[in-house]
Structures are given as structure tokens and as C-alpha cells.
Structure 1
């Protein structure tokens, strides 16, 4: 999805065949050598692949919407080129001695794209809007670290009791339940972006079209042709506008991999990701190919409230019956690694990488999988397995993986798996409603800590669409969030993951890496390990 929504990181190179597309002249001079940099049209066209379901900070849950939001909004903290959290709209922060109260001072030159001032009140309003039960934000639980936030969101408390207070136009006080070492990283998530109160209250559909949109980031939305493209242009009201070199970014919406690959080759697209598997091997030798780790997990969710996945042995049998090494080496081909747990590599702990310390939770074994399937069916009194359909959102790579999994499960379990696909927005709604048995999903951590991966399967998380609720799991996760001893905190997170992998409401497939092809005429594109590329500093040089 969404989604630690979990596929980032390869910028594919352009082959010599494509040199003419990007300015190579007959005499060997590039276009940049023939004219000054100031004459270069500073525009880039990138492929978003799918229509963003919700370009609203309070309602976005997917990485596509988040990609656009990260360019048109900015929070109290933002990210530098390396992806590290740095102050953004806030110019200063003071933390109380007990580590539980943050007092932010906003920049005097923080403006909305309409020229009006961004205030502390806008942040208070935006965050409480996320928590307001009527908003229905799926990411509201990320604010539960704040005093009174969970009670308000669950209808047990009032908004005025939430520890978010605008002391004046430039001062915001935030009271946490307890100290949180990664609070700065958390605040880079789009859920914590401000919104303009007068705009939102005056127009319920303010985020549905470009002509009603106001934001505060490096770019502002100027066009949105639904199912076609989203256009953002440089925001001259942005306090750091001088670092923004691009005048225009177009997020094109082309879903079919072969099509967008050909569009890249002809120069219609400057940046694409998730390449067709049949070109990955050859493109890896090109100069613009990059393979960046992506802190996320590709998986298939089981709906534990629908047969046959009401039985844990059946769930485990499915998970044990596929060959992940074969999938990553022969199907996905993008540098992904087999996954036998929820948390990917990349999160450092005092004992070492969290994943390496925790190890794998199961092994692939077709014979054992058959036995577990038979035992599960016997427990349920089934003489034959109920029909099973696997659904995935429409994309060539998802289709190829699903077809390979279909074949493996058929061969190793003797189960005839049906496949079905849906457009992304429809797919999200289908899984949200629980109208599935087995469904593809990806989850990308918003920062490098196991807690954000494991939060996905909390019993009350709107993102957990499996129907699985485990009180022990929820209790351990809650303990981890108040534990101040780092070693003990990670021990608790390992315990929680063990509970999750014992019940197995999902089957992990691989840990992500992302592949990209990028026009080499562009420099300073920032490739993050848990977000799509940031174009704030990007510049076309020739």
C-alpha cells in the first residue's frame, strides 16, 4: 500500500539507444552544452501508476497519495536529502525535562500557497481533525502517543482534553503520554501536515480538485485530471523556494508496465518505477539504474473471518507452500529478499539489526504444508477445501507474482486458487470492507523502527483488514510504546512479532526493493528507503 506501503529504490539507466531522447546532438554535444542552464525547461514527468485515492493529509493511507502530499505540504519536521528528520515549518523546538512536552515555534515566513500565514492553530485544527471520529482517518492511531488523543478518537473523551494546544499564532504545545524517542521522525508523516482551517470548514470537497486546493509545501497543486495526471508547480510562497529548481512536476497515471516503460524510452516519462521483469536484467547495467532498499513487506493478507482462513493451520500451510527464493530470483527480479517475518531488515537495535536478531519464524516445506492443511481441514470437518480467491490490485508485477503463487499452491497443496484484480481505489475499499479471502498488500514503515511495521496488525488498526485481533499482541505492543529502556523495548517487539507469526493472519512474500529508471539529465533526486523519490531539490541540468 500504502504502503515499511513496504517498494523503493532502483533508478534504471537509459540505454545508448535512448541517447537521442535526452538531448544528444549529431556532433556529440548535449543540449546543455549548447545553451545555458537558465534556458533549460525545468519540468519533470514521473509515473504515479495509480490514481491517488485521497490527497488529503487526514485521509491518505497509500504511498501514491503520500507521494503527492510530500511535495505540496510540509509539517513541523521535514526530511533532508538523506531522509533524516529536520525542522521544517517549525524553526525551534523545546522539550521538557521529562521528555513528554514539546513546544514548537513556527517560522515567521511559513505561508500557505495563497499567501496567508500558516499558524499553530492550523496544526491544532489539522491534528484534531485526524482524531475526530467523524473524519474516519485510518491513520489516527499514529497520534495516540499524544495525551487524550486515543480517548477522543474512540469517543471516550473531548477534543479540548487532547494535548495539542496553539498557545498563540506561532507557538504549538504538544503533550505526550510518555517520552517518545522517534517523535521527530513520526512528525514527518503526512498525517501530521497542517491544513488551512477556513478552507476545510468552508468546503467539504476542498481536496477533490486542484482549483480548490491550498497547501504549504515546496509545490502547489495546479491540475488534477482524474485517472490521467496530477500537476504541481513551484510554490513561490514557500519559505525555502530558492532551493526548488523545478517549475513543474507532472505525476502521470499509467498503470501498465510495458506501456510506461515504452513511454520512458520515448522520453514521455522521466522517472518510472516497478519495471517489467523482462527488462530488469538488461537495464541493471545502465548508468541510471539504482537499487534502493525499501523498508517494507510484500504480503498476502488472510481474512481470518472467512473460510478457509478461519483456521490457523490452513493459513500456515499456505505460507509454507510457496518458494520465495524462486519468486525473487525468477519473477520479481528487482533485488527483493525472501520474507519469513513481518519486520524487514534496516532497523538497528543495540543487539544489531532487528530482523537478523529475530531470525525467521517458519520454513518452506511442501510436505509439512500438506499435513498442516489436512489437519486444519479435519479440525473444521471439511472433506474438501472451500473455494479460495486471491485478489490483487491491477498491476503487471502483482499479476505475475499472483500467477506464480497460484501455480506453487496448486502444485504443493493441490489447491486450485482463483485470481481476481481490481483498480487501486476500488481494491482499497474492497479490502477495507473485508470482502476478500486472501489479498495482496504492502506495508512501508514511515521510519526505521519495528513498531511501525508491527502496528499494522493491531486489533483496532483500520489498516489491519484481516479481522485478526489478539489481546496478547495488542498488550505487548502497548507496553513497548511506554518502555523507556531500549533493550527491553526491542525485546517486547520481538515478543509481539512472535505472537503475530504464530497466529499468522498473513503470509509474508518478500522484503521490498524498488527499481527506477530516471532520465539522467536530472540531478539531486532524493531516494528514500521508505518513501517515493523526493523532487524538492531535483534539477534538470541539460
Structure 2
């Protein structure tokens, strides 16, 4: 279920105006960008948060929206670890302690991790946060028939079998889980069935191991309840899916147990978080921020500036605008079951006019050409030689035609190209078709407007090439390359999972295994960089754009910036309002 949310996330990014949901990567600042230092910072006032889509849940173990993970970590839910509020990519992707005293102790080659809770950390009801709360929160993910929608990596790592979660477990099953995730005073120990070298990044980026108070839990009925341990609490105690909520200060939060300068300044006294899920809300919010009157002077929004609004970003409005790289990449994936000749797949890459494709999406404000599927915010990201060498991204149809002739295939070579249909993507895909047709292909565009990823995951789909998008769940290539191209967990008679091209390579999968069994992230990165080269040599994918985000804010908002930890959305932990 978590993967489905992630797929939707990437789709939204590529359609420029769409919603970006999951993934925990981040992007560096591009044009201008905030300083990250809130020189005008003052405590107090009311921040207006304008959001144009509903969340799926307010339950921490069910949260998988990138913006929600980043923002709610700052205001409502603290975890064992967190990512800092830094614009420096290296600093921002290095976990620091939050509820824990340090970033964890690994043993047994990375198969065992232990963390100790700080003293004095409390829930909003005044009770202490305990090791058993962390243990219980971790157990809830296993009840994936009840706790639906969140990331579930722990299911394949925690060293326990046939555990159905805390609601249905027998005493024996519960005891087995509590041996695998055990408490000793304030120290929690996770025992895994294989090394998890980047577990601290997973803990910081996701909420899979966040504490949850057992007496507060009502299973699915807890979907919109909030018990905060952060600097704010929800005034009513319940999040309204289609309206939002008012966040007020949590008197049980003790900044002495926190690192406010690094993790959450918590400047406003109140945050009025408004949800408007109507189709026109996003553009209306930005029209209001362009006008900058009344309460809108104190507002930020999750709605990106639409291409038709860009001409209005001039004069004083430009001072309140940011354009940043996002943690999301789009790409094309050849159907390996239908295009078996690597030279044909290479011809598709060589003929691609990526520069004009990006222009059709809206130009440099909406994206920039990518040279790999791995976002720049991910540890170890580097250009893939297959796409970066001697490539100006203008496309070369004649060179591509020569490759097709070398392959000895009959021309014109028919290609059905599938993508998520919208007015913008229709224009962008027409650019791809033009270049491919000139190279000797005969392209049929297949735009889908209803379900999409369920269709392209089918092994027998009637498509030769598919558009797709992805963002890392945390800044590790382990959350990019294996989910997308390792055939072993994905392929069945009914689905290729996230391996949309039904790609299979023993060489690639051997490198994935090498990375998975590494007890340190450095060796893991080296193995996955080699794995990406294998994908490039076999043209398992063709990179498209790194999506950009465009943000406006009101003139009375201070400290506005984005960070990798905020997934390139506004970094609410640094934001305040002026008197």
C-alpha cells in the first residue's frame, strides 16, 4: 500500500500541477532559496498554512506523504531520530538524535540496533514516553490489514515470522515480536534478519518506529486522532481530513529535551492549517499570495505555482518566490518483455530530445534534465555514464536510426508509449514522439486518465515504453534501485510490481544483494553505483526530468526556505511570522 502512495507521488510531480505524496528525499536550493537562518525570527503570532489536498491519515504509522512526514516531524510527532533543518545536503541527510540519546548502536554486522530514550520526554497528556511505546508503535505496522497506507519496510527486516500485529497476535506471537524488538528499561533493541546499514536514515525519514501509546490506540478508529509529543498539539485533538485543524502550543513539550536550533524552532504560537480539496484551490491559494493582503500576508502553501501564473511572479512578488529541485525524478521504462534488443532501447535514449521535453513541461522553472534515475539528494547519486557521456540532451535521430539498422529490425519500428494524460503531458509526449519518429520508430501515444500504475505493472500490458516517476523514501539508493528493478520480490503471474518494465538481470540483482548485505553505507553505495551502471548499459530506464517545486509565501512570513528534510516543501520548523 505504501508503494502505491509513492507511485502517485511521483506522478503528481511530473504533471507539474499535481500532488506529491510520498518519499523522504529532498532537494537542494536552486534559484535564490532561503538562507536557513531566520534573522527576523520571533516567537508568537499565527501562521496560516494553506493546503490544497487532504492527507490520508494523521496516524504516524500510516503517514506516507512526503510533505506530511517532513512537516509533522517538526510540529506534532518526534521520533527516535530526525533529519536536521539544514540546506546543506550532507548535513541534512545525516540523522541526529531526537527522542533518543544518540543515533544508535549497531552490532552483529548491522543486524542489531539499540537506542536509549532521553529522560523527561512526554506525551501531550503528561505521561512519559517509554521504550514500550516505541515497541508498540513498531508493532502496529505489522497489522497491515488495519494500519493501512504507511511504509512497511520493517516487515521484511524485523526477525520475526507470522506476526499479525498487536490486535490479532496470540501470546506466543506477541512474545516472539517482543524478543525481536525488545525493551530493557529505556533501551529498545531491534533485531533484524539481515543487515540494515541505513536503518538510522529510515528511522529519521519515516514514522515506522515512532512511539505510540497503547492505551490511546483504537486501531482504524485512531486514523484521525492525534496524541502529540512535539511542540504543538491539535486544539480539538482530532484532525479533520477536509478542513484541517488549529495547532496550539503543547505545554508538556520541553525544549530542554530537544535541539530546537537543529530540529524545530517552533516559532508561531498558533498554526491555522486549512485544507481545501476543491479542484481550483491550488491556483486560488497562489492568486491570494500574489495579492498578499490581510491574513494571506502570514500564509504559506503546499500548492505549487502553476505555469499560467508564472508571468505574475515579478517585482515584489519575486522576492517571495522560490524555485527548488524536488526529491522526485521522472523516467521512461522500456518493456523488457517486448523490446528485448538492447540496441533498440539505446536508440530510444539516443533519439530523445530531453531539452525540448522539459520546455514542454513548462521550462526550467518546472524541471531540469536528469542523467540518472537517482535524485541528487540521495546519498551516492552520480550521473549514469550511459546518459551523461557525449550527450547534450537535444537528441540525435540519425545516430539512433543507425543503431536500429545495426539491430537489423524492420523500420519503422512500432512503439506504443504509455503515460498519465494531462494537457501538459500531452504536449511533452508529443515532443518525444517527434524525435522517435524521425529516428525510424512509429510511435503511438497512449495517454491514460484513470488508473495508471496498476495498468503498467501488468506483465501483459499493451505498451512498449512507459512513463514513470519515483522519489526515495529516505536518502538511500536502496529505496530507489531495488524497488524499481529487482525482479525477485515483484514479478508474479499478475504483476511486475514497481518493476514496470518487467526487467530482470542477474548481474544487477547480485549487486543489489551485495549492497543489502553490507554492514556500512559506504560499501552499500559503491555496490549500488555499479548496479546503476548495469541499468544504464542495458537501458533498463531512460531518465527524464528532475522535478522542480515553485513556492510563494506571504510578506509577513519569516525564515521561509526548503530543506532536504522537508522534502523540498516549506520547512515549517524554521518558519515564523513578523509582528
**Shared fold (TM-score greater than 0.5)?**
yes
Q: 1:202 to 1:133 in 2, by over 3 A?
A: closer
TM-score, length-normalised on structure 2? 0.70
**Displacement of 1:535 after TM fit?**
0.9
Equivalent runs, 1:209-228 vs 2, <5 Å: 210=224, 212-220=225-233, 226=241, 228=242
Q: Secondary structure at the match of 2:141?
A: helix
Distance 2:541 2:58 in 1: 28
**2:552 matches 1:517:** yes
**Displacement of 1:141 after TM fit?**
3.1
Equivalent runs, 1:131-530 vs 2, <5 Å: 131=142, 134=145, 139-141=151-153, 144=156, 146=157, 148=159, 160=176, 164-168=180-184, 170-176=186-192, 182-194=198-210, 196=212, 198=214, 202-207=218-223, 210=224, 212-220=225-233, 226=241, 228-231=242-245, 233-234=247-248, 236=250, 237-240=252-255, 243-246=265-268, 247-250=270-273, 252=275, 253=277, 258-267=283-292, 268=296, 270-272=300-302, 274-280=304-310, 283=313, 286-301=318-333, 315-329=345-359, 331-334=362-365, 336-346=367-377, 354-355=382-383, 360=388, 364-370=395-401, 385=414, 387-391=416-420, 401-402=428-429, 404-405=431-432, 408-409=435-436, 413-422=441-450, 437=463, 440-457=467-484, 458-459=486-487, 460=489, 463-484=498-519, 488-529=523-564
CA deviations over 1:457-481 (Å, ceiling 9, x no partner): 2332665455444443233112123
Distance 1:53 1:408 in 2: 40
Show the counterpart of 1:540: 577
**2:93 matches 1:90:** no
Q: Give RMSD over aligned pairs.
A: 4.6
Distance 1:493 1:344 in 2: 14
Show the counterpart of 1:22: none
**Displacement of 1:172 after TM fit?**
0.9
**Displacement of 1:42 after TM fit?**
0.9
Per mean C-alpha deviation after superposition, the further-off stretch among 124-133 and 73-82 is 124-133
Q: 1:115 to 1:376 in 2, by over 3 A?
A: farther
Asked if structure 1 preserves the Cα contact closer than 8 Å seen for 2:355 and 2:369, the reply is yes
Question: Unmatched 5+ residue regions in structure 2?
Answer: 1-8, 10-20, 34-39, 87-91, 165-171, 491-496
Distance 2:150 2:389 in 1: 29
Asked if structure 1 preserves the Cα contact closer than 8 Å seen for 2:197 and 2:521, the reply is no
Q: 1:93 to 1:317 in 2, by over 3 A?
A: closer
Show the counterpart of 1:126: 137
**Displacement of 1:499 after TM fit?**
2.5
**Displacement of 1:6 after TM fit?**
6.7
Q: 1:499 to 1:133 in 2, by over 3 A?
A: farther
Q: Secondary structure at the match of 2:535?
A: helix
**Displacement of 1:93 after TM fit?**
5.6
Q: 1:348 to 1:121 in 2, by over 3 A?
A: closer
Asked if structure 2 preserves the Cα contact closer than 8 Å seen for 1:6 and 1:442, the reply is no
**2:102 matches 1:73:** no
CA deviations over 1:300-350 (Å, ceiling 9, x no partner): 455656xx567766655544443212233563322733123222335566x
Distance 2:305 2:510 in 1: 41
CA deviations over 1:207-250 (Å, ceiling 9, x no partner): 1xx3x343434444556554x44335135143439942231142
TM-score, length-normalised on structure 1? 0.74
Show the counterpart of 2:17: none
Per mean C-alpha deviation after superposition, the further-off stretch among 503-512 and 1-10 is 1-10
Show the counterpart of 2:54: 51
Distance 1:284 1:163 in 2: 60
CA deviations over 1:116-150 (Å, ceiling 9, x no partner): 44332232233233345656767333665x55269
Q: 1:290 to 1:55 in 2, by over 3 A?
A: same
Asked if structure 1 preserves the Cα contact closer than 8 Å seen for 2:366 and 2:548, the reply is yes
Asked if structure 2 preserves the Cα contact closer than 8 Å seen for 1:304 and 1:467, the reply is yes
Asked if structure 2 preserves the Cα contact closer than 8 Å seen for 1:328 and 1:334, the reply is no
Q: 1:336 to 1:180 in 2, by over 3 A?
A: same
Q: 1:489 to 1:170 in 2, by over 3 A?
A: closer
Q: 1:491 to 1:167 in 2, by over 3 A?
A: closer
Count the aligned residue pairs: 500
Distance 1:401 1:5 in 2: 27
**Displacement of 1:539 after TM fit?**
1.1
Asked if structure 2 preserves the Cα contact closer than 8 Å seen for 1:409 and 1:417, the reply is no
Asked if structure 2 preserves the Cα contact closer than 8 Å seen for 1:45 and 1:250, the reply is yes
Q: 1:470 to 1:57 in 2, by over 3 A?
A: farther
Asked if structure 1 preserves the Cα contact closer than 8 Å seen for 2:351 and 2:436, the reply is yes
Distance 2:572 2:350 in 1: 41
Distance 1:235 1:74 in 2: 15
**Displacement of 1:390 after TM fit?**
1.7
Asked if structure 2 preserves the Cα contact closer than 8 Å seen for 1:112 and 1:216, the reply is yes
Q: 1:182 to 1:402 in 2, by over 3 A?
A: same
Q: 1:455 to 1:102 in 2, by over 3 A?
A: same
